[in-house]
Amino acid sequence: MKIALLGYGKMGKTIEQIALQRNHEISYRIDVQNISDLQLLSKKNTDVAIEFTSPHSAYANVRFCVDQQIPVVCGTTGWLDKKTEIEQACLKQKSAFFYASNYSIGVNIFFQINEILAKMMNNYPDFDVQMEEIHHTQKLDKPSGTAVTLAEGIMKNIFRKTEWALSPVIDSKQLEINALREENVFGIHSVNYTSAIDTIEIKHTAHSRQGFATGAVLAAEFLAGKTGIFGMNDLLAL
C-alpha cells in the first residue's frame, strides 16, 4: 500500500517506521518545507494519506484529500469545529475519512472504561469528577483531543455535568480539566471521582509514540478501498 505522510515531525517519522515494517511504501513525505507537494497527491500515486500536522493546517490537508477521493486518516486535534464540514464533503465526494483523537488501542479501551464508570457514578452525586491531562510542551491545543473525548464520554453519562472547562471552573455543572505541559511527556490522562470519604481514579499513561503510530497505520490499512466516515470503534469493533 502506498501511504502519503502529511506531517513529517516526530509522529510522522514514527508512523513511517511502522508502515515500512508492515511492508508499505511511502509515496510522499509532506511537511511545512514542501507543502506545495500536497498538490501532487492523487489516487494514482497514493492509496491512503495519514495526517498528523497542526490545528491550523489540518482542515486544508484533509479537505484536499477528500476532494481528490484519497482516503485520509487524521490524528490532528484542535480543529474539530470544521469536522462536520469535512464529513459532509466526504459523503458528497464518496471519499473516505477516518478520525480519532487518539490512535492508541490502550487509550480506546480506556475510553470504554471511562464511559462504563461514568454511567455507574451518575447515581452517586456525592462524588465530584475532575480530569487531568499532561503532554509535552510542543503540543499546541489545550486540552488534548483525548481529554475532550474523555470529557464527552463522562458528560454523556453524568447528567449533572453539562460542559467541560479548563481549570479553574466557576460552576459545579462544569467538568474541570487541568491541562499541563511538561517536557518529554507522551500523554497522561486521569479521571478522578472524589467525595469527602474517598477517591476513585482511572488513568492511562503512554510510554512512547509507538502505540499512536501503530494505530494510525492500522487505520490506514482498514480505510484503504473504503468510502465513508470511520473511527476507532469501527477499527476495533468496540
| Edge-to-edge strand list for the sheet holding 25-30 | 25-30, 2-6, 48-51, 72-74, 96-99, 228-230
Measured between alpha carbons, how far is residue 203 from residues 56, 134, 150, 174 in Å?
A: 30, 11, 11, 21
DSSP conformation class of 234: H
Active site residues: 135, 139
State phi, psi for 177 to the nearest 5 degrees.
-120, 120
Measured in whole angstroms, the distance separating CA 203 from the mean position of its chain's CA atoms is 17
Give the angle 215-223-5 at the CA atoms, nearest 5°.
Answer: 65
- Give the amino acid at 231: G
- Quickly list DSSP for 98-109: EE-S---HHHHH
Going by C-alpha positions, the residue among 105, 185, 116 that lies closest to residue 144 is 185
CA–CA distance, 94 with 236 (Å, rounded to integer): 23
